[in-house]
């Protein structure tokens, strides 16, 4: 995150991450220390992976199939599904002269 964000943006991001971390501690107790079952764990990962996403990125990810599948999940499984979809999307992003583009082939 260095040099990418202004100090106020970095402070805000750090605050949000701290809030996630505090919620994860609570959820760990409720889920017998199983991090995979903590919705806030997957939400935090999703937040960090999509911090630079724009409308264009989300429109590509949110296909009809994605939206239908997303409805099948709840809690941690839903956020994990969303996170994995984001990672798949990011595999197809290519850097062209400092700009990120989606590889269609």
pLDDT in tens, 20-32: 999 999 999 999 9
pLDDT for residue 104 is more than 90: no
Per the structure, the complete domain to which residue 73 belongs is given by 7-102
Give me the mean pLDDT over the 21-44 stretch: 98
Domain membership flag for residue 60: yes
Give the mean pLDDT of 33-54: 96
Q: Is residue 2 part of a domain?
A: no
Phi, psi of 101 (to 5 degrees): -125, 155
> E strand or H helix at 39, and its extent?
helix 39-49
Residue 37 resides in a domain: yes
Residue 70, Cβ density class (10 Å: 0-12 exposed, 13-18 middle, ≥19 buried)? middle
Total domains in the chain come to 1
Residue 82 domain flag: yes
**Does 44 reside within a domain?**
yes
Residue 67 has pLDDT above 90, yes or no: yes
In a domain, 1, yes or no: no
pTM of the predicted model as reported, rounded to 2 decimal places: 0.85
């Amino acid at each position: 995150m260095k040099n990418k964000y202004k100090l106020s943006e970095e402070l805000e991001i750090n605050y949000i991450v701290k809030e996630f971390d505090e919620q994860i501690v609570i959820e760990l107790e409720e889920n017998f220390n199983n991090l995979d079952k903590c919705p806030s764990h997957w939400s935090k990962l999703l937040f960090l992976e999509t911090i630079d996403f724009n409308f264009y990125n989300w429109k590509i990810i949110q296909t009809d199939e994605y939206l239908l599948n997303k409805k099948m999940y709840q809690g941690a499984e839903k956020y994990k599904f969303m996170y994995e979809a984001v990672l798949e999307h990011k595999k197809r992003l290519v850097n062209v002269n400092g700009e990120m583009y989606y590889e269609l082939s």
